[in-house]
Amino acid sequence: MHPLVESICKFLEESHMYVKDREGLAGIIFTFLIENVKEKEVRNELGKAVMQFQFPNADEETLLKMWEVAAASSVSEKGWKHEPNYEKVVSSVLDLVRNARVKAEETAHKLEQEQQEKHEENEKIIALYSVLDKEISSMELAVRVLNALDNAGLKRLGELVSHNKAEVFKIKGLGKAAVCQIETELGKLDLFLGMDLKGWRDRS
């Protein structure tokens, strides 16, 4: 439900302090809708809400038809502006409109921001996975170091950085200098030993 519709529906139920009869209140809201709400979909939805307030037992199709007839007959000419509390009611409705539109804009902005952040995060993940998929041999490592990693069954960078430093030290043929060289080369790619790559490993 549009925020404006939701707000006015609530307002209708609380407005008996201003206008006692439902028809009178509905007429005031009709006048407001016709003169101030230009968005067709929102206007129709509000019109149905007002009709439902006035005729609570009518079905949705009937409510919409009644609203279309009422709107077409220029309700604003029926004298509702002479209702003593007209200005007070319309002022309240205008506040609702402003608040609803601000809320809608804030919600839209927040959603857009969240989508942008999600998109940026996805782009980072895609870029990271692209690097992790590279062959270890693409790094500038000594041949003996590459051979040691290959003999350990490690082919891709993702497989290598999934191991922590202590685990890499245990690979046959690798010493302190070799591990230091590996860490240096990984650092150039913004990678490090012991990375949590559950998402990368779990890809189908």
pLDDT digit string (tens) for 105-114?
788 889 899 9
Residue 135 β-bridge partners: 156
Note whether 23 and 104 are same-domain residues. yes
pTM score of the predicted model: 0.49
> What is the distance between the alpha carbons of residues 184 and 199, in angstroms, rounded to a whole number?
24
Note whether 162 and 104 are same-domain residues. no
> What is the distance between the alpha carbons of residues 104 and 112, in angstroms, rounded to a whole number?
12
Number of domains in the chain: 2
Confidence of residue 174 (pLDDT cuts 50, 70, 90): very high
User: For residue 30, what pLDDT is reported?
Assistant: 63
Residue 125 lies in a domain: no
- pLDDT of 79 above 60: no
Residue 7 lies in a domain: yes
Residue 168 lies in a domain: yes
Note whether 91 and 143 are same-domain residues. no
Q: Any idea what DSSP says for residue 172? A: T
* Residue 22 · residue 54 · CB < 8 Å: yes
Residue with the larger pLDDT of the pair 186 and 89: 186
Dump pLDDT digits (tens) for 26-68.
666 666 666 666 667 766 777 777 777 667 777 777 766 776 6
Note whether 114 and 25 are same-domain residues. yes
Confidence of residue 78 (pLDDT cuts 50, 70, 90): very low
User: For residue 131, what pLDDT is reported?
Assistant: 93
> What is the distance between the alpha carbons of residues 162 and 202, in angstroms, rounded to a whole number?
13
Confidence of residue 76 (pLDDT cuts 50, 70, 90): very low
- pLDDT of 85 above 70: no
> What is the distance between the alpha carbons of residues 200 and 126, in angstroms, rounded to a whole number?
10
Note whether 94 and 8 are same-domain residues. yes
Average pLDDT over residues 96-100: 61
Note whether 38 and 83 are same-domain residues. yes
User: For residue 74, what pLDDT is reported?
Assistant: 47
Domain extent for 175: 133-201
- pLDDT of 170 above 60: yes
Note whether 104 and 185 are same-domain residues. no
- Of 3-17, 164-178, 185-199, which gets the smallest average pLDDT? 3-17
- pLDDT of 22 above 70: no
Average pLDDT over residues 138-154: 94
Note whether 55 and 107 are same-domain residues. yes
Note whether 47 and 113 are same-domain residues. yes
Note whether 91 and 142 are same-domain residues. no
